[in-house]
Amino acid sequence: MTMNRLLLITCVAIGCIAAPQAAEAQAQPNPDQNAALNAAARMTEGQRTYFQKNGAFRATVSSIQQDFGITLPASFDYAVRTSTEAAYSYVIPAQGSTVGQLNAYVGAAFLTPNQNPMITTIICRNLQPGQIRPADPQLVLGTLMPNPSGRLVQCGDGSIEVQASVVNE
């Protein structure tokens, strides 16, 4: 199941049913903000897919964009950072009149060697709007959740997990 489909299903299944008052209280989502979330989700999914097929992460935005046919909105800037164990995809508001109204995202794909699932992904949204790079999500050891491997992912300081963005494959 793709990340976009998973996010859509979650919104329909959980967001609208579990908290209808909260959904009604929120303003209509900004189309640029939605496009940024979609870009973060597609870049993160692209990194996971590329690693599963090739055993390495893509190191440039242009290669991810080309490999997976991703359209990146001009209202945001993009960056990728990789290591041997993770890939981070940053989507940060570009300079412009709406910069103070848009939040940045970071998507991360983590290797979990010798475990099943082998790759875990998460997308985090900055709490503060503007051109602030989100703190990197982390793969941490933990026992706070039912988790047989003892590993979980969490967003960095100043950011929150996008609902249903954690995918284990």
pTM: 0.78
Per-position pLDDT tens, the chain of length 169: 444 434 433 332 333 323 333 333 345 578 999 999 999 999 999 999 999 999 999 999 999 999 999 999 999 999 999 999 999 999 999 988 888 999 999 999 999 876 766 899 999 999 999 999 999 999 886 655 555 555 688 999 999 999 877 777 6
d(CA 126, CA 161): 9
Annotated domain spans of the chain: 3-168
Angle formed at CA 14 by CA 73 and CA 90, multiple of 5 degrees: 30
Quick one: which H or E segment has residue 61?
Answer: helix 61-68
Take residue 27 and report the two structure tokens written for it.
């303003």
